[in-house]
Structure 1
Amino acid sequence: MTEAITRADRVLGSLVGGAVGDALGYQVEFESWARIQDEYGPGGITELRYNRISDDTQMTLFTVEGLLLAQPGAEVEAVREAYLRWLQTQREPMPPMASQGLAAQPWLYARRAPGNACISGLAHGARPGVNPNSKGCGTVMRSAPFGLRYGPERAFELAERCSALTHGHPTAGSSAGAFAMMVAHLANGETPQRAVSATMLHLRKDLDRSETVDALQQAYELAGNVPPAPNTCAPLGQGWVAEEALAIAVYCLLGTDDVRAGLIASVNHSGDSDSTGAILGNLYGAAYGHGALPPEWARQVEGREVIVALADLLGPVDETDAVAPQSMS
C-alpha cells in the first residue's frame, strides 16, 4: 500500500521543488535552444552543475515571509513590505546591521537577473496601478506560497492582488492567481488534471482572464499529443510573459509524472528557463511531495536550510481567515 503524502511534505516539496527547477533553468537562462544544444548536447542541460537559485526563489521566499508576518486581513500590505525588503537585497552588497528574517541572510543579496518590472514596480512604491502594461512572468514565479497557505479561492485572490504591486496588466494577475489556485488544489491532494481543470473553470468566469485560459488550453492540448521533452514546449512561447510561463509548466505537469524528465523538458528551450523550471518545480512538489524530487538536486540546492525552515512554518489556514503573526527567529 502506497503511503499517503502528507500536506507538510507537499509544502516542503513545493518550495524545494521550485528552487530546484529554478537552479536547473538558471544555468541556461537567456540562451537559445540552439546554443544550449551546442553547449550541452542534443538533450540539452540534464544535470544541476551549479546550485544557484535566481530572483524567482528569492521572491518566493519573501512571499512566504510576508504571509507569515501578516496581520489578519492585511496580507497584501505584508507581502508588499516583504517585497520591498527583497528590493533592498538587490541594492545592498550585504545585510545592514540589525537586519532580521530573510533580510539577514547574506546569500539572498546576490543579484541574479531580477525582472525589470519587479524592480521598477517596487522602486515606485509597489502600489496597484504601477507598470500597467507589464505582464511578465515575475508575478507567477513568486506566487506558490499563496496556494500553500490558503484554499484555492483565497489563494487566487491574494496572488492576483499582489501581482498588481509590480505588474499592472490583468493577464499578469490572472496567471499568478491561476498558478496559486493550482498549487492550492494540489496541496489539498487533487490530481494535476483536476487541479488544472478546476482552475480553468474558475478563469472562464471573467473575460479579462481570457489570455490565461487560452494559454492553458493550448498547454492541455499539447500535453495530450506531444510528450514533454527538450524544446517540445516551443509552440507555447518562450515563457517571458506570465501566461506563457504558466502554460509551459502546466504542459510538463500534465504531460509526465516523471519529475526529473519534466523538469529537464521545462528548462530546455529558448526563453525564461529558470522561471518555467521554478513554476513546474512548485507544481510537482505540491502534487507529489518532497520525496518525488531528484534527491541529489534537492539536497544541494542553494538555501535549502532556510527553505526547509520556512516550509515548517507555512501551515495552511482557513480560506477566509488570515493567520496571526509568527516568529521568524
Structure 2
Amino acid sequence: MTLTLEDRAAGALVGAAVGDALGGPVEGWSPEQIVERHGGRVRGIVGPWYADWRTARPIAPYHKGDGHVTDDTLMTHALVRVYEAVRDHLDAYAVAEHLVPDLMTTPRWIPELEAEALVLQRVFLAEKWIVTRIHYGHADPREAGEGNIVNCGAAMYMAPVGIVNAGHPAGAYAEALDVAGAHQSSYGREAAGVFAAAVAAACVPGATAASVVDTALGLAKDGTRQAIAAVREAARGHRHFESALGPLRAAVAPYDSVGPDYRAPSLGARRPSRLHSIEELPIALGMLLIADGGYEGSVLGAVNYGRDCDSIAGMAGALAGALGGEAAVPAGWAKQVADASRLDLHAPAAALASVAREVFARDLHRRRTHESAFTTLTPPDAP
C-alpha cells in the first residue's frame, strides 16, 4: 500500500518529536556514560539525568526527560506555523517576517520549563541569533546567519521543508538553503539543505534507507558529503547499533569540529569551513542504514550514541517516520511524549500536509505557465 502524504507528514513530524524526547535526557553524554547511568542501553523514555535537574549543572533549569521535547521540536512546530501563514514556499524573508515574531511575541507551553514562556526564552543562543541579527541588528535576512556558530541548529528543524517538497529532494535542498541563510552559514546551512532533501527523498514511493542516503550524497557538498560517505562506509556490515557506535563515531570524527569532549569544544570548533560537517546528520543517516529504515532501531541507535543525541534522534526519527509513515512510530511513545509535553503532535503534521497540497497546486500552475511561455519562445519550426 502506498503511503499518503498525510501518513508521511505524520510519520516525519511525530517521529522527529519522539526521537527528540527520547534523546533529550542523555544529550551530551557518551555511550559508556549512558550505560553506567541507566544500567544498560536506553530502550525508551527515561527520566532526567539528575534528580535535582532544577539546579544541577549543566542541565538547569530544564527538565530534560520524562517525555519532554526540546527546542528541536519547538522550532520545528514554529516553522510549520510559518508555512501555515505563508502557504507557499519559504525563503529567508519568511523567517524575518513570520518566524522571528513567533519566537519573540507569543507565549507557548515549554515542556522543559514546565511553564508558558516565549519560545525565544528556551532556544539555544545559536537560535536566539536569528532574533538578534534580524530584529535588533536589521541584517539582510539572506545573510543573517553569517557570524553565528556553525552547528546543527538550522538543520534540526528543516523536516517541514522536506514534507512541503515531498518527492522533490532538489527542491527541498534549495528551499532549505534559502530559509537557513537567516540562521546559519557554511556546513551548518549545507546540512539544513541536505536534511530537508533526505526527508523529501524518504517520501518517494518505494524509497529505502539506501536510496535516501544516495540522494543525500548526490546533493551534499564539501565536508558534508565526505562525512556522509565515510559514515555510510562505516555502517556497512552492521545490523545493530550496538556494534556500530564506535565505528560511526570514528568515521565522522575527522569532519566534526567539536572534538572528542562534546561539552568542551576547542576554540576552532563550529567555525565556517569547507572541510567540516556537523556530526548529527551523517550519524542519523548511518543509524537509518543500520536499521534498514526501521524507526525503533534508527532512533534508539541515535539516542545511545550520545553527544547531541536529541538532534540526531530527531533527524533519524523524521527520516524513518517519513519512510514508514505514522504507523512506524510506536503509538505508546507518541502518546507519552504528547501527554508529557502537553503538545498535539499530530495537528502540525496535518496542517503541513494541507499546505503541501496547496503548494504543489501552485507549483503545477507555475510550471504550466513556464511551459507555455517557453513553448512560445521556441516554436518547432524555429531555426
Question: Same fold per TM (> 0.5)?
Answer: yes
Aligned residues of 1:62 and 1:86 also touching (Cα < 8 A): yes
One-letter amino acid matched to 1:279:
M
Q: Equivalent residue for 2:193? A: 177
> SS of 1:166's equivalent?
coil
Q: Equivalent residue for 1:144? A: 159
Instruction: Deviation per CA, 1:175-204: give whole Å up to 9, x if none.
Output: 11111011111112222211221231223x
Which of 247, 254, 257 in structure 1 is aligned with 2:282? 247
Q: Equivalent residue for 2:350? A: 312
TM-score, normalised relative to structure 2: 0.71
Is the counterpart of residue 280 in structure 1 residue 322 in structure 2? no
User: Displacement of 1:72 after TM fit?
Assistant: 4.6
Aligned residues of 1:95 and 1:109 also touching (Cα < 8 A): yes
- Specify whether residues 295 and 60 from structure 1 end up closer, same or farther in structure 2 by C-alpha distance, changes over 3 A only: same
Is the counterpart of residue 266 in structure 1 residue 302 in structure 2? yes
Aligned residues of 2:90 and 2:175 also touching (Cα < 8 A): no
TM-score, normalised relative to structure 1: 0.82
Q: Equivalent residue for 1:99? A: none
Which of 130, 144, 150 in structure 1 is aligned with 2:145? 130
- CA RMSD in angstroms comes to 2.9
Which of 10, 13, 18 in structure 2 is aligned with 1:12? 10
One-letter amino acid matched to 1:318:
F
**Higher-Rg member (1/2):** 2
One-letter amino acid matched to 2:332:
E
Aligned residues of 1:66 and 1:75 also touching (Cα < 8 A): no
Q: Equivalent residue for 1:46? A: 43
Aligned residues of 1:118 and 1:167 also touching (Cα < 8 A): no
Instruction: Deviation per CA, 1:14-66: give whole Å up to 9, x if none.
Output: 000000000000011122333212111232x2221311000000001111111
Provide structure 1 residue ranges, at least 5 long, that are not aligned to the other structure: 97-105, 204-208, 324-329
User: Displacement of 1:314 after TM fit?
Assistant: 1.4
Is the counterpart of residue 166 in structure 1 residue 183 in structure 2? yes
CA distance in 2, matches of 1:182, 1:107: 33
Provide structure 2 residue ranges, at least 5 long, that are not aligned to the other structure: 47-65, 110-114, 263-269, 271-276, 366-383
Q: Equivalent residue for 2:228? A: 216
CA distance in 1, matches of 2:183, 2:211: 30
How many residues align? The count is 303
User: Displacement of 1:304 after TM fit?
Assistant: 7.2
Q: For structure 1, which segment, 56-65 or 75-84, has the greater mean C-alpha deviation from structure 2 after superposition?
A: 75-84
CA distance in 1, matches of 2:101, 2:345: 17
